[in-house]
Structure 1
Amino acid sequence: MIDFSAAEIAELTNGRLSAGTDPATRIDVALIATDSRDAAPGGTYVAKAGEHADGHDFIAAAFAAGAVLALAEREVPMPAGPAGADDAGTCFPAVVVVDAVLAMGVLAAEVVRRIRAHSALTVIGITGSAGKTTTKDLLTGILTPLGATMAPVGSYNGEVGVPLTVFRAVEATRYLIIEMGATKVGQISYLSGIVHPDIGVVLCVGSAHAGEFGSIDNIALAKGELVAALPANGTAILNYDDSRVRAMAARAAASVTWFSSADRDNTVQDNSVQARNVRTTGGHPEFDLSFPGEPGVHSVTSRLLGLHHVTNLLAAATAAHAAGAAPADIAASLSTQGPVSRYRMERTDRPDGVTVINDAYNANPESMRAALRTLAELGEGGSRRTWAVLGEMLELGEDSVLEHDAVGRVAVRLNISRLVVVGAAARAMHVGAVMEGSWGEESMFVADADAAYAVLERELAPGDVVLVKSSNGAGLRFLGDRLLGDRPLGDRIALPTSGAPTHPHLQTPGERTQQP
């Protein structure tokens, strides 16, 4: 257990104790919560004034659940009540700081420092426009047998999510895996300053969230901050097959190890982890895995769905090898691991013979094309009818209409049997499909997820394969659940407003736990 006293927290964060707060109060950092509903006895609640809710309004609820300290930006008086009338006007015990989220980062940095002082900790940072969570899950599976491993819950990768991941680590932690997302230049540098990664993995640079960054070049600049942050004795793990990632080697003081799914000349082969003879069977990637300086090749047959996962499999293999895992163990682990995090090419075969693939956690033009290619393959040459139920790709900026249009055209070129485009913001997909030559009801536009569900409920037949894909904020993952009976019939599915937080108690837009 790693703990702090209230006085230590105030000193580290340049904060002050609210009136009446006992400076000797000790808190376990594993019990720090940013949602009052997650507050635990003896824990600390972080209150932050956000865009959609003010966390200070939930301090009383957190203390009612057992919290003993708040990390807040102002004092909050205790309410009068039958049991607390004498305390009316007294403030809840708190460390008051200028910015609660930045204070979380300071505490997380101190946690990492303390762990390093007691054990041989290896911190591995992972970034990229897509694939971070899958790569994190795979790497966790490989490293856990080698030592105590801590990794993010779900896709926690932002200014709140990274500290929350660090807070769950203990002094015996051997491997700390950190996802790093960003919505602007400078954020990954900030996160790197908290955890000081020893190994940095960059997966890819895509056009997702170009609207927020301003350009794909700015996305590359932001992702490359992880490489620039690595120490000289660290290791940068870079995707050789992505030209923008390849260029990041120039920013590295650390040594560089490449990974690649294409055969390369000997100069690159000398320092690259490679997947050769890449193919798929039933949509599952298979390849021969080789490591620089290691004899022989190792067969990998993945349980993940989609050829695009080769990048994630290779990245996890390369990072694990840099962290000390043996090649044979890496290949064996990759061949046994299936999906861990939800809504990422999540395949379920219904009793009636319909296959549902729910890939609606995230979406960008590159991942849309990859998912459609997998859907086409699962159609088994036309023997199974394929359905692509697609929603909006968020944050594409001025290219949004063109990119949606292009996805609709790709669906036609891949001979997807039926395209159902959901929501006005995605309508250009339907227009693109029609312009590409879709006829009749091969492509249709519907206003919302309820209308899509009505179509599918009426027309799906045994043997059909359904892909449900959209950005997380478009909410189609819930349609995928409903197709499996996980939501009651007649339970309307509302498409959430872009950027609205899932939990009103969370203190910052989009939770600030998850970034692109």
Structure 2
Amino acid sequence: MLPMSLAQIAEVVQGQMHQVPDPDAVVTGPVVVDSRQAVPGSLFVAFVGERVDGHDYAIAAVTAGAVGVLASRPAAGPAIVVPNVLDALCALTSWTARRMSATARIGVTGSSGKTSTKDLLGQVLCRLGPTVATAGSQNNEIGVPLTVLSAPSDTKYLVLEMGARGIGHLSYLTGMVPLDVSLVLNVGSAHAGEFGGREATAQAKGELIEALEPDGAALLNADDPLVAAMASRSEAPVTYFGCSPQADIRAENVALNERGQPRFDLVTPAGKAPVTLQLLGVHQVSNALATAAVAHTLGMGTAEIADALSCAVATTGSRMQLHERADGVTVIDDAYNANPDSVAAALRALTSMGGADRRTVAVIGEMRELGADSAAEHRAVGELAGGLGVDVVVGVGGGEAGQVVAGAAAKGAVTHLTADRGAAADLLAGLLEAGDLVLVKASLGAGLQALVRDLLDKTTGR
């Protein structure tokens, strides 16, 4: 973060200093909410959670080098005490973000692809200058402040993944951090149960566009009608990306190689250049075009954008990451999160990689937050898997996993339904053979990230 003394921070957040021997002691960052991440010069924020009270770990943070603690009650060591820690963190973030005059602040939202696109942006924009991007998927009212406050003073590009689960969430985030560039990827079925449908989702996602000043830049997916329609909500100039011939930044001649990696010609108003992504699945083309739209807007040349995209790799775990086992089984780890759109994209990638010579196995856990359409969406995923020609579909967990299996069986796939990760691991241990291609896809919390580790441990001996 920008260097600030404890006295300055207390003034910004309207807090009271408690047991602060040196009010001029300077916080140079980072701001952390986990005492184990505290380092010399950091500020520890003590949240009270359902299971853990951060105040109990204040002394550990200070011992590790934290200059002070932002707290809602007196804590061990130098503390700035405020009525509400989250409000204070928001105030500190807002104060900091508005003083980053030399930094382009870029917001990314969408129903799917946010993290992959954010990771691409971090790798592409660093060619233009010092870049900070959201770590993992820290895209909420705590994660966004932590990203802003982690940015050194020389940061030129700040890439912020911004999530929303309802109307007003993005307005809250953009009220805290004014944006120079707003990027909307898509409007899908993720969190449909919370939003109340795709139209309500579009209303919420469009808040990112409404937040722009007239001198900002709105970047919209021309292939998604609900996103493209957000142009009417923008006071800033709009640039469209997509495979549509009308898109300003578009892909032509899209194809997948034998490893499931997309190849295409990137077309911008400044020229054309070939791209071969290191990422898996044709759905990554849209994420790459979104990244190209940002880079083009910020002044990068077409050839350099194409080269940077071709060199970029998956940096956040459990997102279409390929692992080759010693026994010839290939595991695709996409177990971080799942919604109908992302599952469909992963299944298409699986079958394109499998071809005619490899047996394909899809291990699918339950999708969350789909509301009244949950059963139908799960069955549709199973039907798609069977219709695409996936050879074996394994459903994991109770409830809607049975709908996945039923849908797949109706389309001719061999199916299995397992109760949990342990049962799935035992089943796959006896099922998999050399040459099989296995996709593991599930929502966060379904336990299938651990299943991936089980699958890899079978031949590594770990």
TM-score, length of structure 1 as denominator length: 0.86
Question: In 2, Cα distance between the equivalents of 1:314 and 1:236?
Answer: 14
Is residue 276 from structure 1 mapped to residue 261 from structure 2 by the alignment?
no
Over the residues paired in the alignment, what is the CA RMSD in angstroms? 1.8
Does residue 422 (structure 1) correspond to residue 396 (structure 2)? The answer is: yes
Is 2:27–2:67's contact at 8 Å kept on the other side of the alignment?
no
Q: Is the 8 A contact 1:139 1:316 kept in 2?
A: yes
Q: Which amino acid aligns with 1:101?
A: L
Distance 1:44 1:392 in 2: 38
CA-to-aligned-CA distance 1:22-78 (integer Å, 9 cap, x gap): 4614342523210122122342211112233222232233233333311111223x5
- Give me the whole-angstrom Cα distance separating, in 2, the residues matched to 1:260 and 1:62: 46
CA contact (8 A) 1:114 1:171 kept: no
Residue 494 of structure 1 corresponds to none
User: Quick one: which amino acid aligns to residue 439 of structure 2?
Assistant: L
Pick from 147, 151, 158 the counterpart of residue 133 of structure 2. Answer: 151
Q: Is the 8 A contact 2:386 2:410 kept in 1?
A: no
> Within 2, Cα distance between the matches of 1:109 and 1:95?
18
Q: Which residue of 1 aligns with 2:442?
A: 470
- Deviation per residue, 1:460-483 (Å, 9 max, x gap): 111000000001121212211221
Structure 1 gap ranges (5+): 79-91, 492-516
Q: Is the 8 A contact 1:115 1:172 kept in 2?
A: no
Q: What CA distance in whole angstroms lies between the structure 2 residues aligned with 1:286 and 1:208? A: 27
Counterpart-to-counterpart distance in 1, 2:370 and 2:22:
48
CA distance in 2, matches of 1:170, 1:98: 28
Paired residue type of 1:398: A
In the alignment, structure 1 residue 483 sits paired with structure 2 residue 458:
no
Task: Supply the distance in 2 between the matched residues of 1:225 and 1:345 (Cα, whole angstroms).
Answer: 29
- Taking the aligned partners of 2:449 and 2:10, their CA distance within structure 1 comes to 42
**Secondary structure of 1:472 counterpart:** coil
Whole-angstrom distance in 1 between the partners of 2:430 and 2:120: 38
The correspondence of residues 423-502 of structure 1 with structure 2, limited to 5 A, is 423-425=397-399, 426-438=401-413, 442-485=414-457
Partner of 2:262: 285
Q: Aligned partner of 2:9: which letter?
A: I
Distance 1:114 1:201 in 2: 22
How far apart are residue 251 of structure 1 and its match?
A: 0.5
Structure 1 residues 473 and 14, CA, compared in 2 at 3 Å: closer, same or farther?
same
For 2:379 and 2:148, locate their aligned partners in 1 and report how far apart those are by CA, in whole Å.
41
3-state SS in 2 of match to 1:474:
coil
Q: What is residue 85 of structure 2 aligned with on the other side?
A: 100
Partner of 2:100: 115
Q: Does 1:52 align with 2:51?
A: yes
| AA partner of residue 256 (structure 2) | T
What is the rounded CA distance, in whole Å, between the counterparts of 1:477 and 1:300 in structure 2?
A: 30
Specify every segment of 5 or more residues in structure 2 that has no aligned partner in the other structure, as ranges: none
Decide whether aligned partners of structure 1 residues 206 and 486 sit closer, same or farther in structure 2, where only a CA change above 3 A counts: farther
Once residues 102 and 239 of structure 1 are traced to their aligned partners in structure 2, the CA distance between those partners, rounded to angstroms, is 33
The answer for the alignment partner of 1:506 in structure 2 is: none
1:293-325 per-residue CA deviation (whole Å, 9 max, x = no partner) reads x24x21111111000101100000011000111
Find the counterpart in structure 1 of residue 237 from structure 2: 255
Structure 1 residues 104-503: aligned runs within 5 Å: 104-116=89-101, 120-262=102-244, 264=245, 268-269=246-247, 272-282=248-258, 283-292=260-269, 294-295=270-271, 297-381=272-356, 383-425=357-399, 426-438=401-413, 442-485=414-457
Shift of residue 437, structure 1, vs aligned partner: 4.2
Tell me which residue corresponds to 1:497: none
- Paired with 1:100 and 1:4, the residues of 2 have a C-alpha distance of 18
Whether the aligned pair in 1 keeps the contact of 2:6 and 2:27 (CA below 8 Å) is no
| Higher RCO (CA 8 Å, separation ≥ 6 residues) | 1
